[in-house]
Structure 1
Amino acid sequence: MNAISPVAHPAPSDEIDLIALVQSLWRQRLLIGLVTLLTGVLAAAYAFIVTPEYQVQSVLRPALIKDLDGLNRTGVYKLTPAQAMQRVGAALDSYERRLEFFRANQGLFEALREPGRSLEQTFESFNRDAFKMLQPDPKKTDNLSAFVGIQLTYPADINGVALVNGLVEFALASERERIAADLATLVKNRLHHLDLQIAAARASYDASKEAKIAALLEADSLKRAKLQDELKALRQQLRTRRDNRVAQLDEAIRIAKSLGIGKPTTPSALGEGERASQGSVIRTEVNNQQIPLYFMGSEALEAERNALLQRRSDDFTEPRIAEIAKELQLLAQNRQVEVLNKRENEDLFLKDLATWREEAARLRNLQFEVAGLKLVSVDQVAVDPLKPIKPKRALILALGLVLGGMLGVFIALLRNMARRIPKTANSAY
């Protein structure tokens, strides 16, 4: 009996039959189309149901130099167009300024209110996601690229145009108020500084005036003391000279009396006796030696001595005493000190006082309307956008169809694999 050999079955192949796969997908084209259509409908529903978001922006550029000339000509506050634009940009970027605008214009944000959230929480969420500052590329340093702006992304139920333009006006108004406050403070500080300068100048003038008066009086006192000392010394000298003269006269009188000289005589006539003379005789004696005093005769000498003893003052004998008296009389009243003390408006003698008063008067009468100050040039105001930036409906619909087609193909492949597994299992037995 012949043995029956088992029939060999071909082993299942792991290779994918592309033709069979394509045929399987073609047979399930209706399923793929339904899945694609369903996904596309869901994507379209999302695109038309989701709340649209719009985007607006406002761009600011530096103001002209003439717009800030009035402020700079005050001489107190200096502001360049670039600095003004930076200040406005900083105000737009400031969280505090945005919050102030939010509090002052809550009607513009009414659609953002949610139950259980505070005002600050509502603004914080909106401010974090909605605002974006626009600035030039740091690599570009030319003047044409100098600008600053703010961009807002907002839902359809918010008036974004009014919000952005209102925020820009609010930032400009707040900066004008700050400039007005700074200007007022600078003027006040400058006036206070001028008052301090004037007060210091007056104090310095008073001190210098008192020092000058004291110096003048001290010089007069010193000169007066020296003159009085000189006068006292001169009088003592004259008194001593008079006493010496009296002593000389006493000695000469004694000699004259001892010689019997009563009348003035000469040495040559002293040896001759009395003689009668006929006619008039004129006697002349030439002698280069000083004749002793007793030759004046006792009568003349006694007369001079008595006159000296009866003298009460020797001032008339010295011309310098009269000069000293004159100088002392002049020193009795210092006219320069008198003029200094009689000054009524001493401010006229203060150095730079006129300049300070002129500056103070100019600052007190300074009138500058900050409300009309143009800090920046609004290059672009926010206007109503033509279409929303979100959602991009065409893109969402296209993505939905693509993803739907992919999902349909994936489901078809899964079904194809599920049908092949039982056949493979049965063929194994």
Structure 2
Amino acid sequence: MNAISPAVQQTSNDEIDLAALFHALWEQKLLIALVTLLVGMAAAAYAFLVTPEYQVQSVLRPAAIKDLDALNRTDVYELTPEQAMQRVGAALESYDSRLGFFRANQGLFEALRQPGRSLEQTFERFNQEAFKMLQPDPKKTEKLSGYVGVQLTYPKDVNGIALVNGLVEHAIQSERERIDSDLKTVIQNRLNQLELKIAAARANYEASKEATIAKLIEADSLKRAELQDELKALRQQSKTHRDNHITQLEEAIRIAKALGISKPTTPSALGEGERAGQGSVIRTEVNNKEVPLYFMGNEALEAERNALLQRRSDDFTEPRIAQIAKELQLLAHNRQIEVLNQRENADLFLKDLAIWREEAARLRSLQVDVSDLKLVSIDQVAVEPLRPVKPKKALILVSGVVLGGMLGLFIALLRNLLRRKSSAIAPA
């Protein structure tokens, strides 16, 4: 029984304390209500007096393939719908692009001007706080299609609809201008490359022609030198042959004179005088040996020798000499070299020149109007919002009342604690 009594007594004290606490708070209900009312009124004042902020957005999706077909069919510039959308999205996010839109439309930002700040400084802060890019969540793998967008939170006096729609149109137009510039640059670079190819082909042709002519001249010079050497050798050979024959004739003349042969004869005829004193003799004449020249007689031999001594040229004795003279005459004029030198239009002989000129003509005739090029499909344009996103009045009022009640209770509890401490100190 004694062990149970303290617990019962403690429980009784706790119940008395809670009751006393509730009674103390109830006595201060006017204070709690007053604090709750004041905080609630402050919250209401903030909710109704703060400048409302609205939110608009514009969402872009990839254009159709047919919208970019005219650009892609040029074969010099390729742009897919997804790439075009990403380029426009990059322009929307670009600070330089936004600054360009601001400079071109400063009247739209006039309501943002603050004392002590220039319009550019005001835009700098507005650009950092008000704009938000919209993109698919990369963590979500399942999505119907890609998109990109821009969201703007702006105060009441700013024309946010014109800002967002104007910025989107400015980004699209700037990308059109960039594509137009890129396209012209690429076409000009292709044309310059073709001109360089043609110039290189012309230079190569001229070098090849000069090399061919040089080879032909060198071959003709070599052939002419070889023929002249051969002609000189043949003439020397003919002269040597003639001199040798004259020497043989002179030797034969001396023999013929010694034998008394003045007229042409034969070995058998020469021995007829001896046969008369020998009686019957069977004579066999061997005809398989060449008859010596002296049997021609000194008269014939001297005539031949004199003719050889008076000869001025032996060319007619060698048929090859006439052939060499013919070949030298042909080498005097190389018709292939003459034809190469007479070519006036080298372009007619350039390989692939027709293909290059056709490509250059096609590039010069390309006419792509990018001013109406549809780079993206505007899935959602900025429209007048139904209500402001800030402040959320109901939430602020409820929060104010709850916070006011909590603050009132805290103040009441604090006063009750201070009273109890004062009561405990007073008897002492």
TM-score, length-scaled by structure 1: 0.89
Question: What's the CA shift string for 1:105-152, capped at 9, x where partnerless?
Answer: 111111111122123311111011101111111123456241111111
> In the alignment, what sits opposite 1:8?
none
CA shift in 2, pair 1:156/1:403, >3 Å: same
Work out the CA distance in 1 between the residues paired with 2:17 and 2:236: 156
CA shift in 2, pair 1:420/1:291, >3 Å: closer
Work out the CA distance in 2 between the residues paired with 1:83 and 1:143: 18
For the pair 1:403 / 2:399, whether they are aligned, the reply is: no
Work out the CA distance in 2 between the residues paired with 1:303 and 1:143: 123
Q: Which amino acid aligns with 1:349?
A: F
Q: Which amino acid aligns with 2:318?
A: E
Work out the CA distance in 1 between the residues paired with 2:418 and 2:184: 86
Q: Which amino acid aligns with 2:21?
A: L
> In the alignment, what sits opposite 1:110?
110
Work out the CA distance in 2 between the residues paired with 1:141 and 1:360: 46
State how many pairs are aligned. 408
TM-score, length-scaled by structure 2: 0.89
Work out the CA distance in 1 between the residues paired with 2:171 and 2:16: 69
Q: Which amino acid aligns with 1:118?
A: S
For the pair 1:213 / 2:208, whether they are aligned, the reply is: no
> In the alignment, what sits opposite 1:10?
none
> In the alignment, what sits opposite 1:146?
146
Work out the CA distance in 2 between the residues paired with 1:200 and 1:188: 18
Deviation at 1:425, TM superposition (A): 4.5
Question: What's the CA shift string for 1:277-323, capped at 9, x where partnerless?
Answer: xxxxxxxx872221111111122112211211121111111110110
Deviation at 1:172, TM superposition (A): 0.9
Work out the CA distance in 2 between the residues paired with 1:322 and 1:363: 63
Question: What's the CA shift string for 1:65-124, capped at 9, x where partnerless?
Answer: 222222222122222222222211111111111111111111111111112212331111
Question: What's the CA shift string for 1:130-178, capped at 9, x where partnerless?
Answer: 0111111112345624111111111111111111111111111111111
| Residue correspondence of structure 1 range 224-235 to structure 2 within 5 A | 224-235=224-235
For the pair 1:95 / 2:92, whether they are aligned, the reply is: no
> In the alignment, what sits opposite 1:129?
129
Work out the CA distance in 1 between the residues paired with 2:207 and 2:415: 112
> In the alignment, what sits opposite 1:3?
none
Work out the CA distance in 2 between the residues paired with 1:79 and 1:163: 28
Give the conservation status (yes or no) of the 8 Å contact 2:110–2:119.
no
| Residue correspondence of structure 1 range 9-408 to structure 2 within 5 A | 17-141=17-141, 144-273=144-273, 287-408=287-408
Deviates more, 1:146-155 or 1:404-413: 404-413
Q: Which amino acid aligns with 2:261?
A: I
Deviation at 1:372, TM superposition (A): 1.8
Work out the CA distance in 2 between the residues paired with 1:311 and 1:140: 114
**SS of structure 2 residue aligned to 1:138:** coil
Give the conservation status (yes or no) of the 8 Å contact 2:130–2:152.
yes
Q: Which amino acid aligns with 1:76?
A: V
**SS of structure 1 residue aligned to 2:368:** coil
**SS of structure 2 residue aligned to 1:120:** helix
Question: What's the CA shift string for 1:323-381, capped at 9, x where partnerless?
Answer: 00110010001111110000011111112222111112211222111112222222211
Structure 2 gaps of 5+ residues are: 1-12, 275-284
Work out the CA distance in 2 between the residues paired with 1:141 and 1:19: 59
* Amino-acid identity (%): 77
Deviation at 1:424, TM superposition (A): 4.3
Work out the CA distance in 2 between the residues paired with 1:167 and 1:16: 70
Structure 1 gaps of 5+ residues are: 1-12, 275-284
Work out the CA distance in 2 between the residues paired with 1:312 and 1:238: 12
Deviates more, 1:68-77 or 1:31-40: 31-40
Q: Which amino acid aligns with 1:233?
A: A
Work out the CA distance in 2 between the residues paired with 1:346 and 1:235: 46
Q: Which amino acid aligns with 1:89?
A: G
